[in-house]
Chains A and B, each alone.
Chain A
Amino acid sequence: MKIGKRYSDEEIIQLVKFGRNLEQPISYLYTEHFENLTNFIRKNKGSQQDAEDIFQETIITFVDLVEREKFRGESSIKTFLYAIARNIWLNELKKRDRMFIRDTESYEPQSKESEDLQEALIKNESKQKVLELIEQLGETCKKILVYYYYENLSMKEIYERMHYESEQVVRNQKYKCMKKLIDWIDTNPGMKNTVKELLAYGTE
């Protein structure tokens, strides 16, 4: 699996931190590290599917940490990805009540980076639960909200892309979706607190 351009660690950090288009740098990480990291998981009692899932979670956690400037370059991206993957897989094994893992590349939790990593993994699990809330909004709502808030499209662009009758119909639909989401958060105190914590964690 090879893509054309090569990126230095620093370039990847910059692109992930500030870029909206993650495809190129992330695809590059897959090209460079997918095989070795999935092998690492497979060697440690993981199936191919486990390995793929862990790699996906590793990348999500990596992007999250880089965006919040928790990756300080104390190690190379490769080592950092291994550390993330190893920790996620250890947590997963603990959940599955397995005791043994063969260490291949140690990354001892001594640095601040490692502490941040441990914290990020805990937060990520809560975040995943919160994000599942958005799944319940339905396909149309998810699309409109992601187009507007993540891809920063205008109402006109969304109307064109989703083939609505008018721009106003999109506005009305977006309002309904947003209201539904906010009502869910407001009416669920546990959820509200988790969201607040996550937002506070993200901006600290």
Chain B
Amino acid sequence: MELNNTQQERWEYIDAYLRNELNTEEKANFEDQLSTNSSLQEEVTSIRTASTLIRSYGQREELKEIHKKMVSLQKRNQDTSTQNIRFYLRIAAIIVFLVVAWSAIGFMSLNPNSLYSDDFSSFTSDAVRGEAGPKHPKTEYLIHTEYVNANYVRVVELYKGSKEKSLMETFLAGNAYLALNQASTAIYCFKQVLYLSAKENTYGYYQEAEYYLAWSYLRNNQLDDAIKLFDKIRRSEFHVHNGDVDSWFYWKLKLLQWKRR
């Protein structure tokens, strides 16, 4: 390539020099001319200046492209995070809705009967040990046997026919009346047990009678009386039925009371 050709060829030669593409001999010849030729020096300076500007511009454009790419990536990630958050919020909302719906249904359907049928367990007793005799008078023995066999009508008949109604007979009769849905008679029996226990100073059936009296109140729609007694059992750490009156059950009772008001 000759330097004395057109400007275009000269500039291409200068580019080759600036890009270090000339061989040693070409480079030496060019630098010889450059040292003496002022117009060539000006042209080299102009091209160097312009190419430096273009490099700065190119770099800025590259940085702008990276910026665009990274900002859009950032936005995509944010969108994904937002979508994830929305998804989890939806799940949470569904769970909250289900819990609220379940609570509402529970609240609407809550009544003494439902509470009774859900939570009540009737009194269970082992078969009377041994035979009828002085320790187990005949009627008491029979009532107990019939109760264990869930023959509640028979229990009531035997109880009515009993001349000397013992604590045990009265207690089992109370439970039999409760099973037969005769709550007010059951209440009478359990109150009798409490009264006689206190009078005779024998407390074998006292706590059991309290517990089933509370259930009888509930069955008889005497909610305030039931709550009072259940609360007493709940607070008495050593009561035999303390564990049966848990907070959840008590909360349902209070809810029922609130619903009635």
Contact = CB atoms under 8 A, between A and B. Distances in A.
Interface of A: 1, 22-23, 26-27, 30-31, 34-35, 52, 55-56, 59-60, 63, 127, 130-131, 133-134, 142, 145-146, 148-152, 171-172, 175, 178-179, 181-182, 185-186, 195-196, 199, 202
A171 B46 contact: no
B52 A63 contact: no
Interface string B219-235: 00000000000000000
21 contacts: A1-B70, A22-B66, A26-B63, A30-B67, A34-B74, A59-B63, A131-B56, A131-B60, A146-B58, A149-B51, A149-B54, A149-B55, A149-B58, A150-B54, A150-B62, A151-B58, A171-B8, A175-B8, A182-B50, A186-B46, A195-B49
Interface string B25-57: 000000000000000000000110111111111
Contacts of A59: 63, 66-67
Nearest to A130: B53
A149 B11 CA distance: 13
B64 A56 contact: yes
B157 interface: no
B60 A60 contact: yes
B257 interface: no
B57 A150 contact: yes
Nearest to B18: A149
B91 interface: no
B57 A26 contact: no
Contacts of B52: 199, 202
A151 B11 CA distance: 19
Nearest to A196: B49
B100 interface: no
Contacts of B47: 178, 182
Contacts of A146: 54, 57-58, 61
B85 to A, nearest CB: 16
Contacts of B51: 149
Contacts of B125: none
B59 to A, nearest CB: 7
Contacts of A202: 52
A63 B62 CA distance: 12
Contacts of A199: 49, 52
In the A-B complex, the 3 residue pairs with the smallest Cβ-Cβ separation, listed nearest first, are: A150-B58, A30-B70, A146-B58
Contacts of B49: 182, 185, 195-196, 199
B12 A1 contact: no
Contact of A22 (B12, B59, B69, B77): B59
B71 interface: yes
A22 B60 contact: no
A185 B56 CA distance: 15
A56 B8 CA distance: 37
Given A56-B67, A175-B12, A131 B53 contact: yes
Contacts of B92: none
B73 interface: yes
A134 B57 contact: yes
A134 B77 contact: no
Contacts of A127: 56
B21 to A, nearest CB: 9
Contacts of B19: 152
